[in-house]
Chains A and B, each alone.
Chain A
């Protein structure tokens, strides 16, 4: 099946690190993505990782990829209240000739003082 799975909710204290986890289904997916959706807004691409990489770091964001387990994680260092949003994991399976994104249901991150 085409189910990308994420936990639905995560609550962290401001200043702590957040780790959002995702499992995907297609081991041949070339790209894996993290999108952020703030209330009332569209999806914003945060970062992505190629399937031949294990880790990618971009300022406060660290993406870890475990291809064997088909597990992807997003770590946000020094989490701020502005990071409160829904975070979507997405995979892009090959084939079909186009960039079809398969999304998870999203993890709602709540940051409290």
Chain B
């Protein structure tokens, strides 16, 4: 089945220790998104790639970076995680700017 896969599903890191979250997709969609969802809050768009073009949201902290080495994979790098970065991170994909398909998310814990 075509899908959006996120690894790992649960990630624990230490305060200030860089961490990378992974997203892959078998849908061959050209747009990939990263959202942050804190507990009991709305998912919030961090950035997205349209093909190879990176689009950052104005209020996304510099601590968050992303890489997209090919169509199928997209990574979220958190350079120096703080306690406030503990959240569920959702990856989504779309064909053009159409319906977004979401992965199951990675829950990040910062100790």
Contacts and interface: CB of A to CB of B under 8 A. Distances in A.
Q: Please indicate whether A and B come from the same complex rather than being unrelated chains.
A: yes
Interface of A: 4, 8, 35, 40-45, 88, 98-106
Interface residues of B, number: 24
A101 B90 contact: no
Given A41-B104, A42-B90, A98-B50, A88 B98 contact: no
Contacts of A88: 42-43
Query: Which 8 residue pairs are nearest across A and B when measured between Cβ atoms?
Result: A42-B102, A99-B97, A103-B42, A43-B102, A42-B104, A105-B42, A103-B43, A42-B103
Nearest to B98: A99
B55 interface: yes
Interface of B: 4, 6, 9, 40-45, 48, 50, 55, 90, 92, 94, 97-105
Chain A CB within 10 A, most for which of B9, B50, B104: B104
A46 B48 CA distance: 22
Contact of B42 (A41, A42, A45, A104): A104
Given A8-B40, A88-B42, 10 more contacts: A41-B104, A41-B105, A43-B90, A45-B100, A88-B43, A98-B48, A99-B100, A100-B45, A101-B45, A102-B42
